Structure 1
Amino acid sequence: METFLNNFSFLFLLFSMLFYWVNAFFNINIFYYFGKLTIIFANLSLFCFLIYTIFTKNHFPISNLYEVLIFLSWCFTNIHLILEKNNFTIGIIIVPISLFLNAFARLRLPESFQKVTPLIPALKSNWLIMHVTVILLSYVTIICGCLLSISYIYIYKLKTKNIFTYKKYIFITKKRYNLLKKLDKLSFRIINMGFPLLTIGIISGSIWANEAWGSYWNWDAKEIWSLITWIVFAIYLHFRLNKNWNGIKSAILATFGFLVIWICFLGVNFISKGLHSYGKF
């Protein structure tokens, strides 16, 4: 059943990405609706996988890298559907990330990792759902905001070609300005929602660490990079709110934060050894 649900979610995400791209490049509206329909099916497939795991393994599926990647893939589809309700088409931005996480879990992780296993003793705590779920939700929201900032930079740097008339130039310039303004505003709002979640996740992790290891902070690699991530986005919000850093300046800073958060999430799992070694690849 796990393989069946994962295969379906992977196929739906793949088709959804293709539909959104066709709509974006060729402006064929019917493919937009196909993309939205398939992302709904992907969301339901991933949701069924999570529910199936809860009932069969008696724990929420966030105990190893494979489960976390599937959970994150589901979270990205939720964020995508929520944002599209605000009439903002972001399928071409978010769906590829969801597909990447799903494909990485299925195709790159060893078969021994691609199994939902019972919890190890270190994770048998009521803090598991509180800490890990909140920290993962913060990653999802912040990454989505950063992706919008990256899109802002791309559109900002994009040169308009084949402008034959002044009126056409004005029309394209105004349209791009409105799009940039919307991207900038939405990116800030999403990161602003993710930062408190990141803060709560770090605090809850410290409390759990004190119960499990006898210390609130152990300078583990994961803890260090979580702190670095928090500082980067604290600086982002500080400059955004107090120094009026909007537009291209904040987009560049958010893009840097995008790299930092991926190092914190996946990079540490590849190269580090420490108290969070149960998440090591």
Structure 2
Amino acid sequence: MNVYLQNFFANFSFLILLCSLICYWIDTSSFLFKTNKSSNASSVAINSSNLIRKLGYIGILISNICLVFLLLIRWKESGHFPLSNLYESLMFLSWCFTLIHLILDRSSIRIEEERSELADARPVPELAYARPLGAITTPSALFTNAFATFSLPPEMQATSPLVPALQSNWLMMHVTVMILSYAALISGSLLAIVFLILTFGKENEVLGQLADARPVNNSTYSLRSRSRKELAMTIDNLSYRILGIGFPFLTIGILSGAVWANEAWGSYWSWDPKETWALLTWLVFAIYLHTRLNKGWQGRSSAIIAATGFIVVWICYLGVNLLGEGLHSYGWLN
């Protein structure tokens, strides 16, 4: 019965995530297309796509609840917090993506409502650019869910008893915080990559179009340039905020892991591959935040650092486990 329920919640959450992904992509594409058409179309786009956006939000919420039930069932069945193998780790990572999306999307909706009230209930086009968030976090949650559900063999999905090294109360503290930090850092890095794509070679292109355009079309090109700039700036700021959330969690996760390692093996740091790459990940995003806060870097320069962090995070989270070496080689890719 437990296996049936686990399969149901895993498959149902995947289906709902797929539907939410379609909703958010339609919403984002429709909004950007209409914004490029005319100055009044942005307001129309915000109103007309609110329903699609709400459907996507509800889908993410339902998927989040399904993943909670899935993890609770595995917790009850195994008798320990469900983070002892790769399948559970990926499903928890998928849940973290949905949680981050729900928090940030709800915050943006609340800000939109407050700003709209201050502006005599008129839509605020600038805030609607938070919509691309759903087009980033939803596929992240979907792909990790799909990989865990459909790619891993049944023996890797089955619950198993904890190895002695994991039988500690630090399991919940250390691993949950680390995976939550991975989710935030991956989301923020993806937004940085989107920013780089949007701004790649666009400045000169836009200037050339404005110079060569006929007078009647100047307003259209100006609107497109402004819309692209607003979108890029919002994505850059959103990436910065998400990475600013993920970095403290990563720091707490590394520190708690050091304390746990001292209790388990008598040493705070052993320079095993996982620890080394966790430190490299921390350094990359520390450099990113340092350049943003102290050097005043914005735009492409800082986004390149964040985009590099995307690769480093995935190597730290999954790539190191392919080696099957070190103190962290158990319970993941045996």
Q: Give me the TM-score of the superposition, normalised by structure 1.
A: 0.94
**Which residue is 1:25 aligned to?**
29
TM-superposed CA distance for 1:118, in Å, is 2.4
Alignment of 1:124-163 (within 5 A): 124-157=167-200, 159=202
**Which residue is 2:163 aligned to?**
120
For residues 293 and 25 of structure 2, the distance between their equivalents in structure 1, rounded to whole angstroms, comes to 35
1:16 maps onto 2:20 in alignment: yes
For residues 176 and 157 of structure 1, the distance between their equivalents in structure 2, rounded to whole angstroms, comes to 11
User: 50-59 vs 253-262, which deviates more?
Assistant: 50-59
Aligned to 2:154, the other structure's residue is in SS state coil
Counterpart pick for 1:83 among 71, 81, 104: 104
TM-superposed CA distance for 1:96, in Å, is 0.5
Counterpart pick for 1:3 among 4, 7, 26: 7
Alignment of 1:262-281 (within 5 A): 262-281=314-333
1:197 maps onto 2:254 in alignment: no
1:236 maps onto 2:288 in alignment: yes
**Which residue is 2:125 aligned to?**
none
For residues 259 and 53 of structure 2, the distance between their equivalents in structure 1, rounded to whole angstroms, comes to 45
Q: What RMSD in Å do the two structures reach over aligned CA positions?
A: 1.8
For residues 106 and 11 of structure 1, the distance between their equivalents in structure 2, rounded to whole angstroms, comes to 12
Indicate if the aligned counterparts of 2:189 and 2:309 stay in contact, CA closer than 8 A. yes
Indicate if the aligned counterparts of 2:84 and 2:332 stay in contact, CA closer than 8 A. no
1:39 maps onto 2:60 in alignment: yes
User: 68-77 vs 149-158, which deviates more?
Assistant: 149-158
**Which residue is 2:119 aligned to?**
none
For residues 161 and 191 of structure 2, the distance between their equivalents in structure 1, rounded to whole angstroms, comes to 37
Indicate if the aligned counterparts of 1:21 and 1:92 stay in contact, CA closer than 8 A. yes
Gaps (5+ residues) in structure 1?
none
Report the AA paired with residue 20 of structure 1.
Answer: Y
TM-superposed CA distance for 1:101, in Å, is 0.5
Q: Percent identity?
A: 50
Q: Give me the TM-score of the superposition, normalised by structure 2.
A: 0.80
For residues 323 and 277 of structure 2, the distance between their equivalents in structure 1, rounded to whole angstroms, comes to 13
Residues 246-265 of structure 1, C-alpha deviations (whole Å, 9 max, x = no match): 11111111000111011000
For residues 118 and 46 of structure 1, the distance between their equivalents in structure 2, rounded to whole angstroms, comes to 21
Gaps (5+ residues) in structure 2?
32-47, 110-129
Larger radius of gyration: 2
Indicate if the aligned counterparts of 1:206 and 1:217 stay in contact, CA closer than 8 A. yes
TM-superposed CA distance for 1:51, in Å, is 1.9
Indicate if the aligned counterparts of 1:221 and 1:272 stay in contact, CA closer than 8 A. no
Report the AA paired with residue 23 of structure 2.
Answer: F
Higher RCO (CA 8 Å, separation ≥ 6 residues):
2
User: 26-35 vs 48-57, which deviates more?
Assistant: 26-35
Aligned to 2:290, the other structure's residue is in SS state helix
Report the AA paired with residue 17 of structure 2.
Answer: L
TM-superposed CA distance for 1:232, in Å, is 0.8
TM-superposed CA distance for 1:222, in Å, is 0.4
For residues 213 and 119 of structure 1, the distance between their equivalents in structure 2, rounded to whole angstroms, comes to 17
**Which residue is 1:214 aligned to?**
266
